[in-house]
Amino acid sequence: MATRSTIMDTNSFRAEHAGQLDSDTRRLTDQRSRVLGESYRLFYRKPVHLVKGRGQYLWDAAGDKYLDVYNNVASIGHCHPAVVEAVTAQMQQLNTHTRYLHQRILDYSEDLLATLPAALDRAMYMCTGSEANDLAIRVAKAYSGGTGIIVTQEAYHGTSELTSGVSPALGSGQPLAATTRLVPPPDRYRVTDPDLGAWFAGQIQQQIDDMAAHGITFAGFLADSIFSSDGVLPGPAGFLQPVIDVVHKNGGIYIADEVQPGFGRTGEAFWGFARHGIVPDIVTTGKPMGNGIPVSAMLAKSEVLAAFSDTIPYFNTFGGNPVAMAAAQAVLQVIKDEQLQQHSLAVGQQLLRELQGLAAKYECVGDVRGAGLFIGFELVSDRAAKTPDKALALDVTERLREQRVLTSVAGPYGNVLKLRPPLAFQASDIDWLVSALDTSLATLSR
C-alpha cells in the first residue's frame, strides 16, 4: 500500500470530514471532486474558500480576514500593485513567445544575473519550478555523462516525469527513478555530529559509491537550499561547502533549487545558497519570481550549460513571455525599492525570538529554527527523546485556521509548522501569529 504524500496528504481535507461542512462548502467540495478528479488536495478539515488577497492578508467568501503565514508564491504580497500594473500594461501591448526578439527578456536577464555569482552567466526560462528542475536534471546528465541524481529523503522538486522521480515527498505511490539515491537531511536538531557539513558530505559520498557499485554514473546533487520539505533546515551558514566539494570531486554538478529560499526570503542573502558561500553550477527558480505569474528560470554556468545547449535546441512556448517578464521585473524592483531582503532579516529575527519564547513556555515545542521569513516550528511529545508529534502539529494547524492564521506542516514526520509568509508580513503581524499559536498550544499541548 502506498504511503501518503507528506506534502499533499498531511494537512488535507478528506471524505470523512465532509459531514462537518456547511452546505455551501460541501457543495463546492463535491463539485470540485466531480470536475477536477481525485488527485487534487485541499488544505484543512474544513477547507477555506478564499476570494481576495492583499499583501499578507486574505479574505474568505464570508468576508473574514486571514493572516497568510504560508504562501511564498505571492512572494512580495498578494496582488501587489506594482505587479498588477506591470502585467496589465504589458498584456495591453503584446504577449507572445521567445522566438521573436523582445527587450524585456534581455533586460530582466541582465538584472537577474547581476544578483548571482559571476560564474552563473546564462538564463533560460520556463513557466514552473518543475520545468526548471526538469531541465536542470537534463543538463546535469548531459554535462556529466551520468544519470544518477542524489536528493534528500523528503525532497520535493516537481511533478514532471523527471522531477517526480527525484521527489520522495510525493509518497511511495509515485515511484522514484531507479537512478535516484536518497540521503538523510542535514537536520541540526537530530544529527549529533558536531560538523554537520562533513557529516552531510559523507552521506552523499556513500550514495555516490552505491551508485558506482550498481553501474550508475553520478550526475549531480539537487537540493532546496533551506531543505523546506525536510522540515525547514537552514543549518549553520557555510555548512554546504563540503557538500559542493564532494559533488565536484566525483564529477557531478550542484543544482540549487531556489524556488522557496530565493529572492531575499532568508534575509541573510538574496539567494538561499549564498548563505553558505557556495557557487552552484545551476540555480532554479519558480513562480515566486513573478509573484504567482507562471514564470521560472534555470540559471547556469555557461560551460555547464554548453554540454546541453550546443547540441539540443530548447523551446518553451511561453517561458519568458513579455507578460511574465514584466511581472518578474516588477518583483525584482519591489524587492530592491522596499528593501525586502533586509526587511525579511529584521522581521524574521524578531519573529524567531517570539517563537523561541513559546518554546521556553511549552515542553511540546522541540525546536524553532529559521532564516529570515522562513521558520520551522517543531512539535514533539517527548522533548528529551525528540519524539515527533504529528497529531499535535495537525491539531495546532486546525486551531490556527480557526483563529484565521493560515499555515501548514512539513518534514518527514509531518510535525513541523512551516511558517513562510509573503515578504509583506510586518512586525505588527507577529502578535496575531504568536498569540494564536500560544492559545492553540495552551489548549492542545499535553
Percentages (nearest 5) of helix, strand, coil residues in the chain: 40, 15, 45
The pLDDT, as a whole number, for residue 420 is 97
Angle value at C-alpha 445, between 439 and 446, nearest 5 degrees: 150
Write the single-letter amino acid at 414.
G
Ramachandran bin of 79, using left for φ above 0, alpha for ψ from -120 to 50, beta for the remaining angles: left
**CATH number at 48-78+340-445:** 3.90.1150.10
Q: Angle, to 10 degrees, between the axis of helix 322-337 and the axis of helix 103-113?
A: 40
- Pairing, β 408-410 against β 416-419: antiparallel
Contact 405, 436 (CB under 8 A): yes
Distance between CA atoms of residues 133 and 259, nearest Å: 10
Per residue of the chain (446 residues), give pLDDT as tens.
456 666 666 766 666 666 777 788 888 877 888 888 777 878 888 888 999 999 999 999 999 999 999 999 999 999 999 999 999 999 999 999 999 999 999 999 999 999 999 999 999 999 999 999 999 999 999 999 999 999 999 999 999 999 999 999 998 788 999 999 999 999 999 999 999 999 999 999 999 999 999 999 999 999 999 999 999 999 999 999 999 999 999 999 999 999 999 999 999 999 999 999 999 999 999 999 999 999 999 999 999 999 999 999 998 999 999 999 999 999 999 999 999 999 999 999 999 999 999 999 999 999 999 999 999 999 999 999 999 999 999 999 999 999 999 999 999 999 999 999 999 999 999 999 999 999 999 999 76
Distance between CA atoms of residues 160 and 175, nearest Å: 12
Distance between CA atoms of residues 422 and 263, nearest Å: 12
- Pairing, β 65-68 against β 57-60: antiparallel
Question: DSSP alpha helices (H): ranges in 145-289?
Answer: 161-164, 196-213, 241-249
Q: Domain ranges for the chain, please list them.
A: 48-78+340-445, 81-338
Contact 243, 197 (CB under 8 A): yes
Distance between CA atoms of residues 278 and 154, nearest Å: 23
The pLDDT, as a whole number, for residue 1 is 46
Write the single-letter amino acid at 203.
Q
The pTM of the full predicted model, rounded to 2 decimals, is 0.95
The three cell numbers locating residue 216 = 550508475
The three cell numbers locating residue 202 = 559523507
The pLDDT, as a whole number, for residue 2 is 53
Contact 133, 159 (CB under 8 A): no
The pLDDT, as a whole number, for residue 310 is 92
Distance between CA atoms of residues 7 and 394, nearest Å: 13
The three cell numbers locating residue 278 = 557556495
The answer to whether domain 81-338 has CATH 3.30.70.260 is: no
